[in-house]
Amino acid sequence: MEISNSGRAFTRRSVLNFALAAGASSMFPVAAHAEAPAAPKGAKLVLLGTKGGPRVGGNRSNPANALIVDGVTYIIDTGMGVTAQVVKAGIDLASIRTILISHMHSDHQLEFGNLVYNIWVSGALRQPVDAYGPAGLEDMARDFWQLNRLDVATRMEDEGRADPSKLLRAHDFTKKDGLVMQDERVKVTAFTTPHPPLENLAYRFETPYGVVVYSGDTAYNPALADFARDADVLVHEVLYLPGVDALVKRANGTPAFRKHIVESHTAAEQVGMIAAQARAKKLVLSHFGPGDMEWITDEMWRAETARHFDGEIVVGRDLLEIPLG
């Protein structure tokens, strides 16, 4: 049946839908100038993964960190499991705008492409993500999309998704030091440190709420103290020398493997020396080596570091939040 009203025809369903809509609008008036909630102000560092090395297992995830400034997230290193850790930390995937890689060992970049893919497939990749790291990062980004081209093309056609390769902008940093990037929230500079046989980029983040310096992987390097001068938070990798032989034995490692561990990382006592020379306000230990041997207690890590540093020492753990300011 149709009801005629001034020459317009309405079906019974149309009348019902109109009545429901009118009633709803009277009960729930729509704001004329609805605005999106403002981004939270402030900054914090979240330790997403604190275990050194590529081995998966134990109570710590592989290396990854998130610096969140005024609601925008900067990811520092992307070890295995970083996406899961971001979700566990309650960080909005859509807030990730920048990724920084310290060096090309797998435990620091293995999930680089996967992280961006996971942002995309979740529907959260709505603006470009810029990535910075050593030479080779641009190739890695290109190769990732090539490796996953069938899946990506299928999802673009079947699910109507945008091309993710156009939303990841990778940038090789080929200098020894200097400005990496700067936006309205953060200024990032880099400093090259030795991590034989590779080199590593330490990063300094200057924010309105304080300065964070991230060592990445590095052999003992007194020059790093100058780069980290007066940092509010110094995040430094750490090696517990009495645990090295146990680590090598478990990994069926060779003498060359042991040599790499000792010569490419910074012993806990030396980390304290760097922090003291840098006049860091707070020292955060991370990238523990070994990072999954329960007999090495927090107090052991702290005691070795405190031989030379009498400031605040934080023995890092996964998902620990460190506020700035």
**Stretch 188-197: mean pLDDT:** 97
Taking CA atoms, 192 is separated from 111, 134, 149, 198, 313, in Å, by 23, 10, 34, 10, 24
Q: What is the pLDDT of residue 284?
A: 98
Domain assignments of the chain as residue spans, ordered by start: 43-323
CB 114 within 8 A of CB 92: no
pLDDT digits (tens, 9 = 90+) for 118-152: 999 999 999 999 999 999 999 999 999 999 999 99
**Stretch 216-236: mean pLDDT:** 98
Q: What is the pLDDT of residue 38?
A: 74
User: Is the pLDDT at 256 greater than 80, yes or no?
Assistant: yes
pLDDT digits (tens, 9 = 90+) for 263-291: 999 999 999 999 999 999 999 999 999 99
CATH dotted code for 43-323: 3.60.15.10
Q: What is the pLDDT of residue 253?
A: 86
Taking CA atoms, 152 is separated from 19, 102, 126, 165, in Å, by 45, 27, 16, 9
User: Is the pLDDT at 13 greater than 70, yes or no?
Assistant: no
Q: What is the mean pLDDT of the chain?
A: 90
Q: What is the pTM of this model?
A: 0.88
User: Is the pLDDT at 1 greater than 70, yes or no?
Assistant: no
pLDDT digits (tens, 9 = 90+) for 170-187: 999 999 999 999 999 999
User: Is the pLDDT at 28 greater than 50, yes or no?
Assistant: no
Q: What is the pLDDT of residue 35?
A: 56
DSSP letters of 102-120? --SSHHHHTTHHHHHHHHH
